[in-house]
Structure 1
Amino acid sequence: MLRICSALVLICVSLPVWADVSGHVRVIDADTIDVGSTRVRLHAIDAPEQDQICQTEHGVDFACGVWASAQVADRFEGRYARCGQKDTDRYGRVVAACQVGDVDMGQEIVSQGWAFAYRRYGMVYDLDEKSAYVADRGLHGFLVQSPAQFRQTRAKGRIPPDPFCRIKGNISKNGRIFHVPGQELYERTGINTAKGERWFCSPAEARAAGWRAARR
């Protein structure tokens, strides 16, 4: 932000600076873009991961990460963006607010329901997300885990590496038990392949390998 103060009266106004990074947009995912040759993580928004799966209200799996990325690409791919850098993240990406024409990219993406306001890093898009939520716009029309929770649970072996093989083959004091999505203990069950636990693509495959169905 550029801070300008009057020499006569102590009045300061913060104005956005959109000149730190500029260039044509290439969409990586719904919250990460290349602006020219610079990798940019859009400030204060968080989108589903590319491999994240959501569900429709009827329980049908939906590749929401891929879908959200496609929506952002349709809207901004190839457009000229001007960005104001706010930080650099742990991956070396520039964290910035970006503008295409007179459109704030982050605001547009959140208000269309293609990503969520990332309140941990700023409240600037809080009302835009709430508006999208009320209207069931975009991702808000589906059953979706927050991207932050998805990343956390995936890191603990709770999210399948293959979205089509989601059955958890757990080994406990009760033996070899498999859990299917929707069961009470499914979400809290983590898979440790070093212990011989594994993922299955169907109940039949799990039973054939010696696992039995969980009661809940």
Structure 2
Amino acid sequence: MLRICSLIVLIASPAFAQSVVGVARVIDGDTLEVAGERVRLFGIDAPEAGQACRDAAGRRWDCGAHATARLEALSGGAVRCEGRERDRYGRLVARCAAGGQDLGAAMVAEGAAFAYARYSADYLPAEAAARAARRGVWAGAAERPEDRRRAAAPAPGGCVIKGNISDKGRLYHLPGSAAYDRTRIAPGKGERWFCTETEAQAAGWRRAGG
């Protein structure tokens, strides 16, 4: 029986297996095209294109572009991918290796990508080591790509006031305000959208800059 079990993994069956080998074209920090097949690296989640991280001094840097560049460097030459499932976009979800090196493991170990714990614990030790050494995304404040994707979704029900939690407390940002566009909402951290200022204030948020 086919069971839909997640957003990423839609098809998983012992009868399904596919190997692809060839020179890789890197799409982004966790996606390749090999032998005409679009491949999503298993067990990792790389920063999104244009995503900014913070270094140890609090400076912004383009960790999305860095992830793409590192995957390009690591995947030079022939790449072999072993997949057993497809995601909802039809991509082959696979472990890929180049020069005998697991690309997913290498990306996480460098701090160029996160372990995607929702789908696998395989790379969590590598992530823990990278975090302890403050490599890559772990040099400063790091936002999980899935939180960024969730924050980039359209405001629910037209409620466009952003309730953000920072070191300054619970602040809400109105459209057009100075920090509105760069403020991301991560519901998993308790952040949320509001429809009115009254609603935000009643929930304990205060207006940013006020």
| Superposed CA offset, 1:158-207 (max 9, x none) | 6xxxxxxxxx9726xxxxx72527xxx97557599xxxxxxxxxxxxxxx
- Whole-angstrom distance in 2 between the partners of 1:58 and 1:20: 43
- Whole-angstrom distance in 1 between the partners of 2:31 and 2:22: 14
Aligned to 2:144: 146
Distance 1:152 1:19, change over 3 A: closer
Aligned to 2:74: 75
Aligned to 1:132: 130
Shift of 1:82: 1.1
Aligned to 1:52: 51
Aligned to 1:214: 208
Paired residue type of 1:170:
L
CA contact (8 A) 2:152 2:184 kept: no
SS in 2 for 1:124: coil
Paired residue type of 2:174:
N
| Superposed CA offset, 1:109-136 (max 9, x none) | 1111110110111111110111111111
Shift of 1:30: 1.0
- Whole-angstrom distance in 1 between the partners of 2:119 and 2:184: 31
CA contact (8 A) 2:82 2:96 kept: yes
- Whole-angstrom distance in 1 between the partners of 2:57 and 2:133: 19
SS in 2 for 1:70: helix
Matched, 1:35 2:39: no
CA contact (8 A) 2:71 2:103 kept: no
Aligned to 1:113: 111
Shift of 1:83: 1.1
Shift of 1:75: 2.2
Shift of 1:143: 1.6
TM-score, length-normalised on structure 1?
0.66
- Whole-angstrom distance in 1 between the partners of 2:193 and 2:54: 21
CA contact (8 A) 1:169 1:191 kept: no
SS in 2 for 1:119: coil
When the two chains are superposed, the root-mean-square deviation of aligned CA atoms in Å is 2.9
SS in 1 for 2:72: helix
SS in 2 for 1:152: helix
- Whole-angstrom distance in 1 between the partners of 2:146 and 2:125: 19
Matched, 1:180 2:174: no
Paired residue type of 2:29:
A
- Whole-angstrom distance in 2 between the partners of 1:75 and 1:148: 23
Indicate which of 164, 170, 174 corresponds to 1:170.
174
- Give 5+ residue unaligned stretches, structure 2: 1-16, 156-161, 163-171, 186-190, 196-206
SS in 2 for 1:28: strand
Structure with larger Rg: 1
TM-score, length-normalised on structure 2?
0.68
Distance 1:112 1:186, change over 3 A: closer
Paired residue type of 2:123:
Y
- Whole-angstrom distance in 1 between the partners of 2:131 and 2:151: 24
Distance 1:186 1:27, change over 3 A: closer
CA contact (8 A) 1:25 1:35 kept: yes
- Give 5+ residue unaligned stretches, structure 1: 1-17, 159-167, 172-176, 193-212
Shift of 1:144: 1.7
